Amino acid sequence: MYYLKLSFILLGFLFFTSQLANAQVTAGLYTNGTFTQIGIGSNPEKKFFGEGRLFAGDYLINSFGFEALGQYNFQKSDWVNISGGLMLGYYEYVEGIRAGIPLLLAIKPIQNNRKFSVMLEATPMYGHEMLALRGNFGLRYTLGGQ
């Protein structure tokens, strides 16, 4: 049953990424000290953008999880983007679904390469009768486009 669920989720993730193949796509790596996530999403320079994330486990924490994020850019500039939105995720370690409100700060530190971003994220989350605040640090790069 576990492999069937994992196969279904991976197929959905591959379908999501194939839909983005002709557009600008972002690839990101995020961590909060406990979990590492890999993500792929749409163009973060647009007013609305989305991202899908998979948890990348290791020997100590080898549980599976995935998230879908929808974001709205509140402020965009050459150096910084500030966005917020909604997140919905499934996590094997709590055996359930969580919802959250991620707030992202994307800092674009390299003047000649605005496609690279350093990400700071704070997400109040609720699910499985628990309220939590997660902070993530990450790196994101936008592929394709001008």
Dist CA 134 CA 39 (whole Å): 16
Residue with the bigger pLDDT between 92 and 39: it is 39
Contact between 53 and 67 (Cβ < 8 Å): yes
Listed ranges 5-14, 51-60, 106-115; the one with the highest mean pLDDT: 106-115
Phi, psi for 8 (deg, rounded to 5)? -65, -40
Contact between 126 and 100 (Cβ < 8 Å): yes
Let me know if 17 is exposed, middle or buried by CB neighbors in 10 A (0-12, 13-18, 19+): middle
Listed ranges 22-26, 58-62, 69-73, 130-134; the one with the highest mean pLDDT: 69-73
Phi, psi for 144 (deg, rounded to 5)? 85, 175
How much is the average pLDDT of 74-99?
A: 90
Dist CA 146 CA 135 (whole Å): 31
Sign of CA dihedral 90, 93, 94, 99: negative
The SS3 of residue 75 is strand
Could you tell me the two tokens for 80?
């910084």
The enclosing domain of 73 has a CATH number of 2.40.160.20
User: Structurally, how many domains does the chain consist of?
Assistant: 1
The alpha carbons of the chain give a radius of gyration, in whole angstroms, of 15
Q: Residue 48 sits in which domain range?
A: 2-143
Contact between 14 and 6 (Cβ < 8 Å): no
Report the predicted TM-score, pTM, of the whole model to 2 decimal places.
0.78
The pLDDT of residue 1 is 47
Cα dihedral 38, 63, 99, 138 in deg (nearest 10):
-30
Is the pLDDT reported for residue 146 higher than 60? no
